[in-house]
Amino acid sequence: MSEISKKKDYITFKGAACIRQALQFSILSGKPVKISEIRSEDLDPGVNEYEMNLLKLIEKVTNGSIIDINVSGTQIRFTPGVITNNNGDEVFYTNEEMQTQDRCLTYYLEFLLPVVLFGKASFYGEFTGITNDNIDMSADTFRNCLLPMLKHFGVEGATMEIKKRGLFPKGGGHISITVPYIRELNSLSLTDEGKVKKIRGTAYCCMRNNEVNTRVFTSARGILNDYIPDVYIYTDNYKKDKCGLSKGFGASLVAETTTECLISADAIHHPEQTLDPEKLGESVAISLLEQIFNSGVSDVRIAPTIVLLMGLSNAENTSEIKLPSNIIQSDYMMNTLRYLNKFFSVKFKISECEDDERDSESDDNEENPKTEEITDKDDDLYKKADEIPRPEFHIFSCLGFGLQNMARKTE
């Protein structure tokens, strides 16, 4: 866990784990930061390659930012500039060497998204690298889950296209993204997850036979259709000239509820694993069901970004969201809450859900039992379902800072 203290004009941090968030909050708040002891005890100390790539991206989307790295690379002094989004011109990011230590492109996009919303012009980006791996959020989840959630904050027109899919480890994928600028963010109120009304997804493979996709989505649908009939999984077969540099296959699923909440799950075949397509299809389907049961109104992976935007939203109304209790155990979420207080003096109230909709529905079913005949097999299933411990949920609420877009001239 990073230590925070204030010295002179810099807000100081220690450790490599806080680099991305510290820089992100610094740009949004306009406050300079100093990050020290970056892997100072490691055999390879200092800032690594993907963190240097992040600093280069910051230079492209801001004007006047000052980045000072010491000789050993274990300390960064950063003074933020104005967010210009390259004045509306395209921002290009590419890792030509395609080193295995590079992160997925969503590592950079997750950082940029809250920043470029408050830019001088709309953001247009072309990114080349890894689109799917087992470490970061997949490009599919970013496109199908995170970007649509921006509509709840009043942001319209954010789009992303996966032009070429690049799998771990060599990458070579290509992403095009557009994010509009805004004046301010609307407050958010999401406390009802609703019911799942449909499931959509994509089964993809690179330099593999298209039969792999068929085996993946057939296996996934075999599980999901037991719960909901509206399941549609697209297939993408990328040949050698239309995909990245690594062979492989995977799948991404998104469940949409009646209250427009989105929950996703991903699975990718690792080059060193011997995983059958059927097993991968079962894995991603079961993972999605677990996410639906445990996630509340938001996918756990995008929850820190949603909470950050809540802290920056206008102060006219209170923002609130329903999330699982165990999300507090995530260092990334805890840092988000801590940094919102440190940079913007925004505090969150975390209260227990007094009446869970799922529990009330089960009570209604007991008071108004269905007239359909229940077999012994169904009765056994209901008993097993009752034995599953229900997750606890909390309401995260705050009064936003009301961050204004100062890079844009008053019209």
Structural domains in the chain?
Answer: 4-184 (3.65.10.20)
Reference 83, options 156, 30, 9; nearest CA is 30
Does residue 301 have a pLDDT over 80? Answer: yes
Instruction: Report pLDDT for 388.
Output: 67
Q: What is the average per-residue pLDDT within 63-88?
A: 95
Share of residues in the chain with pLDDT > 70 (%): 87
Q: Angle CA(81)–CA(86)–CA(87) in degrees, nearest 5?
A: 100
Q: What is the average per-residue pLDDT within 121-143?
A: 94
* Residue 385 CB contacts under 8 Å (≥ 6 apart), including other chains: none
pLDDT digits (tens, 9 = 90+) for 309-319: 999 999 889 99
Q: What is the average per-residue pLDDT within 120-147?
A: 94
Q: What is the average per-residue pLDDT within 178-183?
A: 96
Does residue 99 have a pLDDT over 50? Answer: no
Does residue 262 have a pLDDT over 90? Answer: yes
The C-alpha atoms of residue 210 and residue 115 are separated, in whole angstroms, by 39
pLDDT digits (tens, 9 = 90+) for 197-225: 999 999 999 988 889 999 999 999 999 99
What's the mean per-residue pLDDT of the chain?
87
Does residue 390 have a pLDDT over 90? Answer: no
Q: What is the average per-residue pLDDT within 362-376?
A: 47
CB contact at 8 A, 396 and 306? no
Give the global pTM: 0.90
pLDDT digits (tens, 9 = 90+) for 324-356: 988 888 899 999 999 999 999 999 999 998 755
Does residue 358 have a pLDDT over 60? Answer: no
Instruction: Report pLDDT for 109.
Output: 96
How many contiguous H segments (helices) and E segments (strands) does the chain have? 11, 19
Whole-Å CA distances, 109 to 27, 123, 159, 368, 399? 15, 11, 12, 48, 26
Instruction: Report pLDDT for 295.
Output: 86
* Residue 319 CB contacts under 8 Å (≥ 6 apart), including other chains: 187, 188, 189, 310, 313, 397, 398, 399, 400
Model confidence band, residue 371 (pLDDT cutoffs 50, 70, 90): very low
CA dihedral 145, 133, 322, 223 (to 10 degrees): 80
CB atoms within 10 A of CB 136: 20
- Residue 274 or residue 247, greater confidence: 247
Strands (E) located in 207-275: 231-238, 248-257, 262-268
SS3 (DSSP) at 219: helix
3-state SS track over 46-94 = CCCHHHHHHHHHHHHHEECCEEEECCCCCCEEEECCEECHHHHCCEEEE
Give the DSSP H or E segment for 329: none
Instruction: Report pLDDT for 101.
Output: 57
Model confidence band, residue 363 (pLDDT cutoffs 50, 70, 90): very low
Q: Return phi, psi of residue 282, to 5°.
A: -65, -40
Instruction: Report pLDDT for 36.
Output: 96
Instruction: Report pLDDT for 362.
Output: 43
pLDDT digits (tens, 9 = 90+) for 14-45: 999 999 999 999 999 999 999 999 999 999 99
Does residue 233 have a pLDDT over 90? Answer: yes
CB contact at 8 A, 266 and 251? yes
Instruction: Report pLDDT for 216.
Output: 95
The position carrying tokens 């032009």 is 163
Instruction: Report pLDDT for 355.
Output: 59
Q: Angle CA(285)–CA(304)–CA(76) in degrees, nearest 5?
A: 125
Q: What is the average per-residue pLDDT within 168-189?
A: 93
Does residue 58 have a pLDDT over 60? Answer: yes
